[in-house]
Amino acid sequence: MHLLEKRPMFAVVRTGGKQYRVAAGDKIVVEKLAGAAGDTISLGDILLAGEGSELRSTDGLTVSAEIIAQAKADKVIVFKKRRRHNYRRKKGHRQQHTILKILGIGDQQAEKPKKAKAAKPAADEAAPAVAETAAAAPVQEAPAAAATSEARAKKPRAKKAAPLKVEGAESPMTDNPVETKNDAE
């Protein structure tokens, strides 16, 4: 029994000039692709596919993925300088990328978590009771909302910092000038 035989089907896809090893259910971050969150796309440039230790033909094979989000990477600062010429340029750049969830490779689909159906009817039965209490709740919540807004309005003021005292910083015009070395002798 070989450990690689238990692994699910995988594929190596190329997108945005990079290669990614993916399996059903994986989440990857790739260069920006067209589409909105929730859209399903297919990646057709498959370099390698296999299941366990066996490789499969990539002819006509596609990888389906769902766009989870369109995001930006951390900011990169581009700073240019030429010595002795008073030339300095500072620019920031945030690379755009897309977060994908792999749904399936070829005809195989990712396993979706199963939800319990028994919980839904219980929630439906509780909904009328919640609606009845919600009708009476605004009358009780109005004074509480006013009390919280008053609490926010009566915040204590921030304390001011004490003035910084440094030896020798007082001027001779003050009542207590600091003694200098010449005065001490």
DSSP string, 116-179: PSTHHHHHHHHHHHHHHHHHHHHHHHHHHHHHHHHHHHTPPPPPPPPPP--TT-S-TTSSSPPP
Q: Between 38 and 135, where is the model more confident?
A: 38
Q: How many CB atoms lie within 10 A of CB 170?
A: 13
Q: What is the mean pLDDT of residues 48-77?
A: 92
38-52, 84-98, 103-117: least confident range: 103-117
109-138 mean pLDDT: 51
Query: In this structure, are strands 63-72 and 54-56 parallel, antiparallel, or unpaired?
Result: unpaired
Task: Determine the Cα–Cα distance for residues 41 and 65; give it in Å rounded to an integer.
Answer: 5
Q: How far apart are CA 65 and CA 35, in angstroms?
A: 12
Rounded Cα–Cα distance for residues 13 and 7 (Å): 18
